[in-house]
Structure 1
Amino acid sequence: MQPSRIWSEIDFQKDGKATGYLRVPISTNASAYGWIPIPIASIKNGSGPRVLLIAGSHGDEWEGQIMLIKLIQSLKAEDIQGHLIILPGANAPAVQVGQRVSPLDDGNLNRSFPGDPNGTPTMMIAHFIEAVLLPGCDLVCDFHSGGSSLEYLPSTVVIAPRSDSQLRQSVDLLRVFGLPVGFATDASTGGDRSLTGACDRVGSVLCLSTELGGGGTASRNLLRAAEDGLARVLHHIGVLSAAPEGSHSGSTQLLYRVRPADFVYSPANGLFEPFVTLGDSVGDGQEAGCIHFTEEPWRKPVTIYFGMGGVVLCRRFLARATLGDCLFNVGRTWTPQ
């Protein structure tokens, strides 16, 4: 793999706590020899697991960004054993404008791996993560939510592992994190171009993700639950020296999200009226909602149906919908073998 053109003042091999920037080179009319700042922290204390924590791959997903900003400020090197690398706003140009993709190149970071060291800014960031940060990692935690357009049932997520040992470890982590729902999905929404694909290429690095609400906001209660869940996971794998306060006593419902081909999509442009809400159990062929027509208010609405039933994991947050927008997806009961 070609060397990255991104550089940083941080020595990732050095013990202690260091904060600074990844510098992504860019040349524009306004800045001929400039660089894009990507905030990063390295917290290292002796030998132990190496964990990469990422948020802001999509710039309008705020919950994980808030979590990791707080973690950078609160953790000291003596609090851990091993190495934490924290990237709270991975696609910084998208974070700055509050959009899913980068305004510089329309780059979706979680669809840009393995990246390109000589490509667009988003491709350079993806390449640096895969070529420099991922090697040697034992675990990656990648924090997502529904962003501006979607709202998710608060969930911990894994891509269905390819080996039995990874499956057992992944299910353990879902349960340790402790959100009410943990779901598995295939790789069809991101495939090899996602961070999970990068983890597989680097050497079967475990990858745990989340869907923490959405709708362009952040819930205090959900943030607290996710912060506690991350602390449990880091203690479970031996990075956090002290056990988190309290204990998780609830159970995690395990689901398998249906394929994108089985999501519910808008059949027309109009106003989306949902008939169900997050967490509802729905049947095959059940009415999901309808689309109303503002320009033809006398026209009858178009009813939308679930193809496959299950638990409603995700819904469109915005009422205005266009042809092809995802309106719902569901998860079905998952019993890992």
Structure 2
Amino acid sequence: MAKIVLEYTNRPLQGFIIYSVARWPQFHLNMITFFPTYAQWIEATGVWRVNIHGMVTKPLPMASRRRTVAYAVVKRLLKMDEVQLRSPIFQARSEMFLFQRVSGESVQIRLGGKIKDIGISKRTGHFETSFDLDAQTVSETVVETPYGQKLCFESVNGDTYSTSVTTMGSVQLLHTSGTSVISDIDDTVKLTNVADRRELLANTLLREFVPIPDMVDLYKHWSSSGAAFHYVSASPWQLTRPLNDFFQSAGLPDGSMHLKLFRLKDSTPLGRMRSSKKSKRDVIIEIIDHFPNRKFILVGDSGERDPEVYAKVAQQRQNQIAGIAIRRVPSRRSKQKTEYALKNLAQTLPNDRLRVFTSADEISDLVSPKEII
């Protein structure tokens, strides 16, 4: 346990095997990624329900045709030269998409000195399950962090002859009452410029991620007041590692992360990274339903469809929505369509629960210490 606490103090990229670009593995091991999740307290049975979610992959061979085609498409779209293609940022980011999903892989974790079967990875390479832990087991293994209590765990290699390495993960413990912030990422806390598809791709693959400074300060303030965070975004799961790194360097509070399933063959890199899986609304509704006694602040932007998504959420779970904040940013949509969406969103909320803002200090009062239980 001491080792886990030390590793968290240094805030590594949780859930990943970390390699520098120069040392990226050329062997084709199965690699497990654990996504940041949460556990909720079940009052009726007196247990913690722990949610585990992750993915099993292996790198594409260097001579893969899929790798060659992907590089050629991105090079053409962004008009990249050879220097840009060899840049450490592009090499590291592109590798996140250049892998094979591994299905049928059995996943086990070690938590609190006990081994638990998590299940079998699906066709997409993802695995997801939940299980219950009694309060005593949790109290013996919980780790105190600047962002609340967490359970830390590690992967277990069930194959004696495999050379795979251990992967760390964590689960945030959330109590039944309090305030949670459900936040978008792109153009809400991270400058992405979704309205310009070429800039979107460049900011995703070629450049260091850039935080929106006043939003970072706001989220720090809300976190210090006791709010918990859930980041729900249309960014693909492949970006979990660099996003975790970005959150760490920017100083954004930890929280569960809920991204989109995306495969290169589903669309071009300039597409919207569509998913046949859960919609953003479905994910938000699921989070809210896990915590019927918590209040929620939804934060997004006007660049795409956050106003429409949040309006549908507010219609279905109005009693738990304490406020919705929409950051005004450029959009590919017409001004009339954007204003219509915001007007419709306002009609789903009572009183002044909708804030359309350009500066974070305009919404700082949405969360205050007296609201946190």
Q: Fold-level match, TM-score > 0.5?
A: no
Between structures 1 and 2, the one with greater helix share: 2
TM-score by length of 2: 0.27
Q: Normalising by structure 1, what TM-score?
A: 0.29
